[in-house]
Amino acid sequence: MQCFRTEIENPLVERDILELERKIALFKEGKIDEEKFRSLRLARGVYGQRQPGVQMIRIKLPYGRVTGPQLRRISKVSEEYSTGRLHITTRQDIQIHYVSLDRTPELWAELEKDDVTLREACGNTVRNVTASEMAGIDPKEPFDVTPYADETFRYFLRNPICQEMGRKFKMAFSSSDEDTGLSYLHDLGFIPKIKIEDGVPVRGFKVLLGGGLGSQPRHADVASEFIPEDELIPFIEAVLRVFDRHGERARRNKARMKFLVKDLGIDPFLELVEQERKALAFQKYPIETTEYERSRSLPNPESPALDEELGLDFDLWKQTNVLAQKQEGFVALGIRVPLGDFYISQARALADLVEKYANNEVRFTLRQNFLIRDVREDLVPFFYQELKKIGLAERGYNSFADITACPGTDTCNLGIASSTGIAKELEKVIFEDYSQYINNQELVIKISGCMNACGQHNMAHIGFQGMSMKVGQTVIPALQILLGGANHGNGNGRFADKVTKVPSKRGPEALRKILDDFESHAKGLSFLDYYDLKGQRYFYDLLKDLADPSKITEEDRIDWGRNENYERAVGIGECAGVVIDLVTTLLLEAKEKLDLGAEALEDRRWSDSIYHHYAGLINGAKALLLSEDISTNSYANIVKLFDENFVETGRIKLGGSFEEIVYEMRENEPTESFAKAYSVSAKKVYELLKAHRKEEVPA
Structural domains of the chain sorted by starting position, each given as residue range(s) with its CATH number in brackets? 2-112 (3.90.480.20), 137-292 (3.30.413.10), 296-389 (3.90.480.20), 404-557 (3.30.413.10), 583-696 (1.20.120.330)
In this structure, are strands 497-503 and 474-483 parallel, antiparallel, or unpaired? antiparallel
Extended strands (E) in 76-220: 85-88, 94-99, 130-131, 171-173, 188-197, 200-209
What span, in angstroms and rounded, lies between the C-alpha atoms of 500 and 506?
A: 12
pLDDT of residue 323: 97
Q: 384: how many CB neighbours lie within 10 A of its CB?
A: 21
Dihedral sign from CA coordinates of 506, 510, 511, 512: positive
How confident is the model over 488-523, as pLDDT tens digits? 999 999 999 999 999 999 999 999 999 999 999 999
Q: What is the distance between the alpha carbons of residues 366 and 173, in angstroms, rounded to a whole number?
A: 12
Q: What is the pTM of this model?
A: 0.92
Query: What is the per-residue pLDDT across 667-697, written as a single tens digit (0 to 9) for each?
Result: 999 999 999 999 999 999 999 999 998 887 7
86 forms beta bridges with 342
Please answer whether residues 196 and 177 qualify as being in contact, where contact means their C-beta atoms are separated by less than 8 angstroms. Answer: no
Residue 569: pLDDT band with limits 50, 70, 90: low
What confidence tens digit (pLDDT) does each residue in 73-101 have? 999 999 999 999 999 999 999 999 999 99
Rounded Cα gap, residues 340 and 402, in angstroms: 10
Res. 566 pLDDT band, cuts 50 70 90: low
Instruction: Give the number of residues written for the chain.
Output: 699
CB neighbours of residue 84 within 10 Å = 13
Closest by CA position to 263, among listed 205, 216, 207: 216
Q: What is the pLDDT of residue 4?
A: 47
The pLDDT value recorded for residue 410 is 65
Give the residue from 411, 319, 325, 432 showing the smallest Cα distance to 372. Answer: 325
- Predicted confidence (pLDDT) at residue 414 exceeds the cutoff of 90: no
Rounded CA gap, 332 and 371, in Å? 7
